[in-house]
Amino acid sequence: MARRRLSRRQREVRRNRIILACVASLILILIIIIISVSVKSCSRSGKSDNNKETGAISEDNSDIQADSNNTVNDDSADTTAASSTAVSDNSPYPAPQLPSGNIVSKGTTSKGFSIQEIDGATYIDGHLIANKTYALPSGFIPTNPDQPVNNADRSSTCLDKTLMSAWNSMLKDASANGLNIYIASGYRSYNYQVNVYNRYVKSDGASVADTYSSRPGYSEHQTGLCFDLNSIEDSFQYTDEGKWVNDNCYKYGFCIRFPKNKDAYTGYKYESWHLRYVGVDLATKLYNNGDWLSLEEYFGISSQYPD
């Protein structure tokens, strides 16, 4: 049977239909591909968000765990205060350690800080205090010296072990800044202070000597927690070394023990060269953004001889 021959018009219509069918198929395939890609993208985004949320939860749990551990450690520290550092301080320069011994409570200061006595020495909030009100026993020697005191009357190495570590760091940084600082006077025994004080009394009289020199037993030098730098002259405050020490010593746990214009609290005139080690935590508070506080005004204690 012979096939009917299509007209030219019919052939064009058929060709156009085929073309339209192919185009429609291609469009459908593209739509399917786009939908597939979109679904996969959303799925990945969802997984990413879930991972972020999971990570955040994990970090939160870590923080909670850290807080929990810190709480446990703090509680433990409270029960072992006599053998731990005086102040919770996580810096490289913590507060000096409390010595072992029988702790006798002596109440609180006017600002609510605890007063304790260990073997005749007074500690305010865990910090050893030696001033005109609180004396040291004549036989007191540094309890944690870097080098053994033995029979030394005067030494720059028989100072507190933690102090010496902080001092070495401060010395290194000062030297890196082209500054020359050194310990001129460190530990002094009770007997050595007898000679120092008597010499000043002979020279200037007791009333004047009491403004810049401690009586035996009341000197902070006997604690092994302080030292005098360079030249013990008022001019030290104006030197590059004196200015740097004033502005930076707290970063290493030291304070200016007798700040400017605080003699009404300390009982001594300003000494820019006399540093006391208390640890970074307390030293930063005493620095007071450059307006130094004395230990006396911070703790709420006096500094007056009994007579």
Is 275 part of any domain? yes
Structure confidence by residue, pLDDT tens digits, 190-237: 999 999 999 999 999 999 999 999 999 999 999 999 999 998 899 999
Is 273 part of any domain? yes
Write out the E strands in the chain: 103-108, 114-118, 121-124, 127-129, 154-155, 183-185, 187-188, 226-229, 254-258, 271-277
Specify whether the CB–CB gap between 192 and 282 falls below 8 A: no
Q: Work out whether the CA dihedral 90, 94, 97, 103 comes out positive or negative.
A: negative
Question: Which residues lie across from 129 on neighbouring strands?
Answer: 122
pLDDT of amino acid 104? 96
Is 92 part of any domain? no
Is 165 part of any domain? yes
The percent of residues in the chain predicted with pLDDT above 70, rounded, is 79
Is 219 part of any domain? yes
Number of domains comprising the chain: 1
Specify whether the CB–CB gap between 207 and 163 falls below 8 A: no
**What does the mean pLDDT of the chain come to?**
84
User: Residue 175's domain spans which residues?
Assistant: 138-298
Is 196 part of any domain? yes
Structure confidence by residue, pLDDT tens digits, 236-263: 999 999 999 999 999 999 999 999 999 9
pLDDT of amino acid 38? 65
Q: What is the mean pLDDT of residues 280-294?
A: 97
Give, rounded to a whole angstrom, the gap between the first and last alpha carbons of the chain: 144
Specify whether the CB–CB gap between 129 and 123 falls below 8 A: yes
Question: Of 30-44, 111-125, 148-162, 273-287, which gets the smallest average pLDDT?
Answer: 30-44
Is 5 part of any domain? no
Q: Is 143's pLDDT higher than 80? A: yes
CA 193 to CA 228: how far, in whole Å? 14
Q: Return the higher-pLDDT residue of 290 and 39.
A: 290
Per-residue pLDDT band at 16 (split at 50, 70, 90) = confident
Q: Return the higher-pLDDT residue of 295 and 79.
A: 295
Is 257 part of any domain? yes
On the 0-12 / 13-18 / 19+ scale of CB atoms within 10 A, 295 is buried
Helices (H) and strands (E) in the chain, counts: 8, 10
Per-residue pLDDT band at 48 (split at 50, 70, 90) = very low
pLDDT of amino acid 77? 33
Check which CATH number belongs to the domain holding 222 and give it.
3.30.1380.10
Q: Work out whether the CA dihedral 68, 70, 76, 79 comes out positive or negative.
A: negative
CA 21 to CA 29: how far, in whole Å? 12
Question: Of 21-25, 111-115, 241-245, 286-290, which gets the smallest average pLDDT?
Answer: 21-25
Question: Of 13-27, 29-43, 64-78, 159-173, which gets the smallest average pLDDT?
Answer: 64-78
Cβ-based neighbours of 108, under 8 Å, separated by 6 or more: 114, 115
Q: Return the higher-pLDDT residue of 109 and 41.
A: 109
